[in-house]
Amino acid sequence: MSPGELIIELFLMPLVAFVVGLGMVLMYRRIGARIQRRVGPPFFQPIYDIIKLYGKHTQISHGLIHEIGIIMAVGGYVAAETLLPVPGMSGLADKGGVVTLAYVMMIPSLGLALGVGQCANPNGSIGISRALTAMLAYDIPFILVIFGAAYVYGTTNLADIIAIQQQQGPGGWGIVQMPLLALAALLSLQGIMGKQPFEIYIAPAEIATGPMVEMSGKFMGGLFVMQCFQLYTVGVLYTTLFLGGGEYWLTFLPKIFSVVAIPMMIAFVFPRYRTEDVIRLLWKWPVLIALTGLAVVLR
Amino acid sequence: MRPENYQAKNHPPSHEFELNFGPNHPGIEGNYAFKVKLNGDTVLSARADGGYLHRGFEKLMEGRLWIQNIALVPRICVPDPVPMEVCYSLAIEELGGLEVPERAQWIRVMQLEMSRLAAHLFAFGGHAATTGMYTTMFWGVADRDLILDRFEELTGGRVYSIYNIPGGVRREVPDGFLERMSSLLDYLESRLPDYDNLFFRNQVFIKRARDVGAMTQEQALKWGVTGPNLRATGLAFDVRRDDPYLVYDQLDFEIPTEPGGDALSRNLVRRSELKQSIRILRQVIERLPSIRGPIRCPIPNPLAWNVPAGESYTRVESSKGELAYYVVSTGGDKPYRVHVRGPSSMHAVQVLENLAVGSRLEDVAQIMFSLDACPPEVDR
Amino acid sequence: MSNELENIPIRQELEVLQSGQKRTNPLANVFDGLVKFCRSRSMFMLHYCTGCGAIELPPAMTSRFDMERLGIQPMVTPRQADILLITGYVSIKTLKRIILTYEQMGSPKYVIGICSCTVNGGMYWQSYATAKVLRDYLPVDVYIAGCMPRPEAVISGLRELMEDISSGRAESWKKYYQHYDYYLGNQQKLFGEDWQTPTDIIAEARHYDLMTEHTLGEHTALLEKHQKPLEALEMRLSVKDKQKV
Amino acid sequence: MSKELNIWLDNLLSDIESVQFQRRNSRRVRVDVGSEALPALLELLQGRASYVHLSAITCVDWIEDGQFELVYHVWSYETRSLVSVHTRIPRDPGVYLSIYDLYQPAAFFERDIHEMYGLYFEGSPDMEKFILTEWNGPPPMRKDFDGEAFVNEHFHWEQYHPQWLKDLEEEGGGITVRPEDVR
């Protein structure tokens, strides 16, 4: 790949991720609306919200760290997108691999913690401490799953993982090869996405949306953009590891949309757990399933 | 642009901090506030702060005619306005020695139970929203709206009906109303299993709400708790049965109780009361056509009505608990004194402060909503 | 006093300001139009029940009337909100919080006065505890009269606001900066001379270039006289367990 | 009325002097008692006759007599009857005893009466303002506080004089009774 192509891909991949992510946000809100027996937002609603937030006159900044925090939050995901191969583009996937990706995916939470800490709002601080605790909870099954997948495929290179799965057809997909790990990954996906029942760190009724409490204007817009990237990242990562990635966009898009639709549907019919219950639950069932899955694949 | 907000100050190291809850906070029912002192996630103490909805009703009523106050009273409790009207009307009727026709009494019972249904749907919907399950709230409010439609048909007003006047009710029941009411009850009954599956039997919710804000029966009696909150501690007390007014002594209904005394029990009591209210309404629909007669007794010219001197204390069971009016007349055309005893004046202040101590930060909103505290009743 | 406000030629002034803002670059105009359109289609309303009219907001938000199909959704903190719904009578204690909230919201911001009580005191005209005319204290964009207005009326009022925003008529937030002295004067009359808020409106007016001859006046002079330096809210702290620290 | 209550009320008459009682109906009893005997009476009602629920405390301002009337409504879950205990205390200096030791709900009502009437209760746990924290005037529920005059002095109302009204007035019509006249 020539450097020119690489630069184009590095530019294009986050852009595609953003557009697809907008669609996922729309889907999230529409699914919620259907479950709640109503119509839901118009098609372009996510983009209206983001443009409006960036177009606010007042942009209240709480200092440099606050701004850096948001840049880290969005930038972490932008970096993650360049490591995720999609049909036709593989970006830095050859050089990074799934372990780097797992690290990069932690940056946004840490960036958010930095930014929120600067706001000095107690609600935000409580929220971010809950968010980091939840991260601790879902990362353990997630790392186990990544380890298992890397062992099965014999590589951490995502491009190779896709190639291996596609050579063997649907029978060779990760979800067939290691169903237990796929299940554990789906459970920790709910935590990564931060949807109910693992939504305690947002909790409007308790801490007034936690980390977002002092975010306004473009900072809030940044978080909205981050949400698009987040949904896209988890969808693509799961598809890459377990659903054979995508050869064409036509097959790839339905896969990633259906992956994120599952946690979304669960989210609207459950209340949220307390922090300790989140940890207990995520360290018990997904970890147990993942360990069993590991035992099966390592045998 | 710099935020206007305060610079963070350096504090001596401590595990304790104070957090303001409200008045502008989604975990608050209505416009109310309290300050909690926390150690980590545990509440050390809570202090209620009311008065955001204070309008000085009791003072306003002293300056208006007896009949004018009918328009004022439903505003005291917004989610459940009908008991206010009925209770005030009962007080005037007792003072003036008016005999309310039987048909009017049955219509009042129907209205009261409709209001209770609406208020309970709103109450547990709100509780669900504090735990993050917005679907229950969306469904509950939408189903409540169907009851409001029937209110509109009967009285002309969606929320504030101003339908009960001293001596009876304002209008006759419209044609076909009872059939439509009956089909609405069928619909609501068919919805109850959905609510059970979604909310009341949801394991996550049960885990969240169990043992939250729990009180024993002795504590409840000591703190003056009434209504569903008292019944959730296992004491079957209901003003409708134990101090009957209107025609409740001719009706057949049960008083559901739960043993737990926690947020879960309080919600389950409300859930069972939905069923009882539907049962009462079915009896009213069955009996009402056979009861003929006027819908109000003649009253003097309301604009120059001097209610005989005296005082009366009337109580009704609102969806929140025991609601009482103490009305004093000196024989003038205006009340000399009206005192409103809102059930929430206990629940939202002392009981909330007591229950919050030792609970978790994430449960404070749950406690408030499970008590179904109604701030305008406190502030008046 | 409300007559005084009416004599101030707000509309013309705004038109001057707007024509001054008209940029030479046609692309920038298109962009401005886009932002305006998006503002009108995405309104975050503050979740604050100030009075009894708030009981008609849940029906308007939830399944039956579904505000979200118009792009309106509730937001939890004033920082993120665009519209402040004053639902019903405002007691004086609440009005202070409303003004604090309003000043914390990011511009452009819009105020909707729901219920008759915000127009003229409504049925509580006699009450010693409620403020009567809301627009003396805050610039109001849209009034929705009624006691209480039905959800349909609330939604139609919001649609009117949407139209006002997309056509650029809803600019009342600028009025607050341009006539700060007037609003502050009314606030001081009600809350006492030493009334102050954490927000420095005059500095913000300078920042937005919205200073007019009405921004400063006798009332702002009074404010400066009484202004105390802002400090962190008082926190009572006690160290119980020294070993843990 | 249940039997025990009758027996108990007879006993009561012998126990405390200056008690008058009046049965209004089967579930309502009005008792008038001197202010010095009220705490003792309530203690008896609670301890001996199961009137454990304090429904409300009402204050009535009888300005012409220079007195405050306090009404304690207590309810018994067992005999299912409500006793309203009336007592009168002088308006000046406006100090009375708290019954918080007997009935905990009294704390709220006493606090409320304190800020609305300025009547102080000795021994009440919390006499801080609750509703009127930002109110500097006199206690508003007192009869000598004229709310309407206060409102007229401090507030003004929106002027409403639209074109159609002006047209009517040109034709010689218009509003005959203006809101200001009524106020």
pLDDT band for D8, please (50, 70, 90 cuts). Answer: low
Contact D80 B350 (CB under 8 A): no
Contact B376 C64 (CB under 8 A): no
Chains that touch D (3 or more CB pairs under 8 A): B, C
CA dist., res. B216 & res. B221, Å (int) = 9
Domain membership flag for residue D25: yes
pLDDT at D9: 61
Domain membership flag for residue B10: no
A36 part of contact set with chain C, CB < 8 Å:
yes
CA dist., res. D78 & res. D70, Å (int) = 25
Chain C, 59 to 98: residues with Cβ < 8 Å from chain A are 62-64, 66, 68-69, 71, 76-77, 79-80, 82
Candidate from A167-176, A178-187, B39-48, B307-316 with smallest mean pLDDT = A167-176
CA dist., res. B80 & res. B316, Å (int) = 12
pLDDT at C189: 85
pLDDT at C175: 85
pTM score of the predicted model:
0.87
Asked if the model's pLDDT at residue A195 lies above 80, the reply is: yes
pLDDT band for D1, please (50, 70, 90 cuts). Answer: very low
Q: Based on the structure, what is the number of domains in chain D? A: 1
Domain membership flag for residue D102: yes
Q: Which residue has the higher pLDDT, C59 or A88?
A: C59
Domain membership flag for residue B96: yes
Q: Which residues pair with D81 in a beta bridge?
A: D76
pLDDT band for D178, please (50, 70, 90 cuts). Answer: low
Contact B52 C91 (CB under 8 A): yes
Angle between helices A45-54 and C26-41 (to 10 degrees): 120
CATH of the domain at D94: 3.30.460.80
For A108-160, the pLDDT digits (tens) are 888 888 888 777 777 888 888 888 888 888 888 888 888 888 888 888 888 88
Identify the closest residue of chain B to C122 by CA–CA distance: B72
**CA distance to partner chain C, nearest, from residue D166 (Å):** 17
Q: Mean pLDDT across chain A, nearest whole number?
A: 85
Contact D56 B326 (CB under 8 A): yes
Q: Is the link from the previous residue into D162 a cis peptide, with omega within 30 of 0?
A: no
Domain membership flag for residue D141: no
Taking every pair of C-alpha atoms in chain A, what is the biggest distance, in angstroms? Answer: 61
Q: What is the 3-state secondary structure (H, E, C) of chain C?
A: CHHHHHHCCHHHHHHHHHHHHCCCCHHHHHHHHHHHHHHHHCEEEECCCCCHHHHHHHHHHCCCCCHHHHCEEEECCCCCCCEEEEECCEEHHHHHHHHHHHHHCCCCCEEEEECHHHHHCHHHCCCCCEECCHHHCCCCCEEECCCCCCHHHHHHHHHHHHHHHHCCCCCHHHHHHHCHHHHHHHHHHHHCCCCCCCCCHHHHHHHHCCCCCCCCCHHHHHHHHHCCCCCCCCCCCCCCCCCCC
CA dist., res. A17 & res. A260, Å (int) = 14
Chain C, 125 to 184: residues with Cβ < 8 Å from chain B are 126-130, 147-148, 150
Domain membership flag for residue D175: no
**CA distance to partner chain C, nearest, from residue B323 (Å):** 19
Domain membership flag for residue B2: no
How far is Cα of residue A227 from the mean position of the Cα atoms in its chain?
Answer: 8
pLDDT at A160: 82
pLDDT band for A251, please (50, 70, 90 cuts). Answer: confident
CATH of the domain at B195: 1.10.645.10
pLDDT at B20: 80
Domain membership flag for residue D138: no
Q: Which residues of chain B have pLDDT under 70?
A: 1-14
Contact B13 C94 (CB under 8 A): no
Residues on chain B touching D55 (C-beta within 8 angstroms): 313, 315, 322, 324, 341
pLDDT at C233: 46
Kindly write down the DSSP assignment for every residue of A254-277, as one continuous string. HHHHHHHHHHHHHHTT--PPPHHH
CA-wise closest residue to A145 among A287, A296, A298, A299 = A287
Query: What are the structural domains, with CATH classification, of chain C?
Result: 2-170 (3.40.50.12280)
Contact C93 B51 (CB under 8 A): yes
pLDDT at D14: 60
pLDDT band for C23, please (50, 70, 90 cuts). Answer: low
Residues on chain C touching B160 (C-beta within 8 angstroms): 147-148
CA-wise closest residue to B161 among B148, B180, B146 = B148
DSSP category for residue B80: S
Contact B52 C148 (CB under 8 A): no
pLDDT band for D6, please (50, 70, 90 cuts). Answer: low
Q: Based on the structure, what is the number of domains in chain B? A: 1
For C201-211, the pLDDT digits (tens) are 887 888 888 88
B145 part of contact set with chain C, CB < 8 Å:
yes
pLDDT band for C230, please (50, 70, 90 cuts). Answer: low
pLDDT band for D13, please (50, 70, 90 cuts). Answer: low
Domain region containing D122: 3-129
**How much of chain A, in percent, has pLDDT values that exceed 90?**
5
Contacts of C238 (CB under 8 A, 6+ apart): B14, B16
pLDDT at C20: 47
pLDDT band for C235, please (50, 70, 90 cuts). Answer: very low
Sheet holding D53-62, edge to edge: D19-25, D28-33, D81-90, D67-76, D53-62
Identify the closest residue of chain A to C109 by CA–CA distance: A56
Give the residue-averaged pLDDT of C53-77. 86
Give the residue-averaged pLDDT of D65-90. 87
**CA distance to partner chain B, nearest, from residue A274 (Å):** 7
pLDDT at B60: 87
Domain membership flag for residue B7: no
**How much of chain D, in percent, has pLDDT values that exceed 70?**
86
Give the residue-averaged pLDDT of C218-228. 77
Residues on chain B touching D54 (C-beta within 8 angstroms): 224
pLDDT at B187: 92
pLDDT at A23: 92
D55 part of contact set with chain B, CB < 8 Å:
yes
Helix ranges restricted to H, B132-176: 134-155
CA-wise closest residue to B75 among D155, C122, C155 = C122
Tally Cβ neighbours within 10 Å of residue A284. 11
Asked if the model's pLDDT at residue C244 lies above 50, the reply is: no
Residues on chain D touching C186 (C-beta within 8 angstroms): none
**CA distance to partner chain A, nearest, from residue B4 (Å):** 9
A60 part of contact set with chain C, CB < 8 Å:
yes
pLDDT band for C61, please (50, 70, 90 cuts). Answer: confident
